[in-house]
Amino acid sequence: MENFVIISGCSSGGKSTLLRELQQRGFATIDEPGRRIVAEELIRNGKALPWVDAIAFARRAIEVSLADREAADACARWVFFDRGLIDAAAALEHLTGEPILRSLGMIHRYNKNVFLAPPWPEIYVLDRERRHGLAEAIAEYARLLDVYPPLGYDIQRADWILTSLAR
């Protein structure tokens, strides 16, 4: 879907803040699947947590991401996704070697412009739902830089979102 836009990148890179601003400006936004999963698992004392069972977590993130795409308003001008399917599939493939990324990434398309928030050490914080360190976040960011282009996506910086999409 050309109106489905991914905002991804480094943990604690400002994605959620950017999405809140886009939402305040009237755009549809979809919250990060990982954070929602972690919150649910912590409440029910579940195991699908990245620091307990990362593979179960990644599989669940794929399921949630697919459901988010299905529930998103395909008629909306723009729908901004905080991470999503490609990130989840990349994580699962990294953890297991299962060749899932290409098949899911080619079937379930987003706008060709993907906006990646780079590492921002000055604002990096750990919290109840983010327990991995900055080094792990930067490594994940590097993997994302590698996985999007072969799927046909152009990586952009978050500052250019609305200008780039208006073209």
- For 60-72, the pLDDT digits (tens) are 999 999 999 999 9
Residue 14 is part of which domain span? 4-166
C-alpha span between 31 and 63 (Å, rounded)? 14
Q: Is the pLDDT of residue 89 over 70?
A: yes
Each residue's pLDDT tens digit, 111-153: 999 998 887 767 656 666 766 667 787 888 899 999 999 999 9
pTM: 0.85
Q: HSE on the CB side for 159, CA within 13 Å?
A: 1
Q: Where residue 155 sits, what CATH number does that domain have?
A: 3.40.50.300
pLDDT at 81: 96
Look at the chain and report how many structural domains it folds into: 1
